[in-house]
A = this chain, B = another copy of it.
Amino acid sequence: MSKPTEDELRPFFATIAARDTISDEEHRALVSAMGDRRVIAAGTDIAREGDRPPVSTLVLSGMTARYSTVEDGGRQITGLHLAGDFVDLHSFPLKIMDHSVASISRCTIAVVPHAELKHITEQFPHLTRVLWLLTLLEGSIHRQWLVAKGRLTADEQMAHLFCEQYVKAGIAGLTEGGRFALPLTQTQLGDALGLSIVHTNRTLQRLRRTRAIEWQDGIVQILDWDMLQELGQFDGSYLHLERVPR
Binding site for B on A (CB under 8 A): 50, 66, 68, 70-71, 74-76, 78-79, 90, 92-96, 98-99, 118, 121-122, 125, 128-130, 132-133, 135-140, 142-147, 149-152, 193-194, 233, 237-238, 240, 242, 244, 246
Which residues of chain B are near A96, meaning CB under 8 Å?
237, 240, 242, 244
CA gap between A142 and B76 in the complex, in Å: 13
CA gap between A215 and B34 in the complex, in Å: 52
CA gap between A148 and B66 in the complex, in Å: 15
Which of B122, B138, B144 interacts with A139 by CB under 8 Å? B138
Which of B79, B133, B146 interacts with A194 by CB under 8 Å? B146
Q: Evaluate contact between B240 and A70: CB separation under 8 angstroms.
A: no
CA gap between A129 and B120 in the complex, in Å: 11
Q: A96-B240, A121-B129, A133-B93 are in contact. Are A70 and B147 (CB under 8 A)?
A: yes
When C-beta atoms are compared, the residue in chain B nearest to A71 turns out to be: B233
Shortest C-beta distance, A50 to chain B (Å), equals 8
When C-beta atoms are compared, the residue in chain B nearest to A150 turns out to be: B194
Which residues of chain B are near A50, meaning CB under 8 Å?
237
